[in-house]
Structure 1
């Protein structure tokens, strides 16, 4: 087994329960970690034998572009799509953070983190 990590994927998205959030948007940070069998690609040096991190980033960016009220909802979409499109992925650990959330205090970010295993 091996791990591929995409750290600090930055997006500008429109998630949130407040009407204002759907209009003005916010900065977000996504961290994605997947587990997969990387032994073949370690030997062959071929992209076709591994999980393409460009594909992972594309999934994150496309799902972050779809408005959700809750970070949990967008995270679940990323997980479901990753498992559906990349059958070699056995585990996903994902964090979605809203930078400078409008919660009436000096808070750098709020985040949710999920970890899911292929069943």
Structure 2
């Protein structure tokens, strides 16, 4: 069997963080969710059953947690920082997609979340 594409997902990872344009957002904070898709070749891990042959989603989560503690005005900026860090820390990642959602943003609208999504190649 030949694996043609392989992805690792982290879906709706929840963080409480302090991102936003308004002072109140950076003071009070909000709930954010990240959905991440990492394109990587884990065919060796399929055979070896060894985490060293893949990208550890626990290690990826640690990067997300660290980056989410750094306040930013824009979700776009947070996504870019996370993407750059993941490409830097995990050479096996060929492409990634990241969606960052801010739950119930303070904008006077009835919506679940405001989101940004980006797709990056190495």
Question: Partner of 2:68 in structure 1?
Answer: 64
Question: Partner of 2:96 in structure 1?
Answer: 92
Question: Partner of 1:25 in structure 2?
Answer: 29
**Matched position secondary structure for 2:105:** coil
Tell me the number of residue pairs that the alignment of Structure 1 and Structure 2 aligns. 118
**Matched position secondary structure for 1:16:** coil
The residue correspondences of 1:19-58 to structure 2 (distance < 5 A) are 19-58=23-62
TM-fit CA distance, 1:75 = 0.3
| Structure 2: unaligned runs, 5 residues or longer | none
- TM-score scaled by length of structure 1: 0.97
| Structure 1: unaligned runs, 5 residues or longer | none
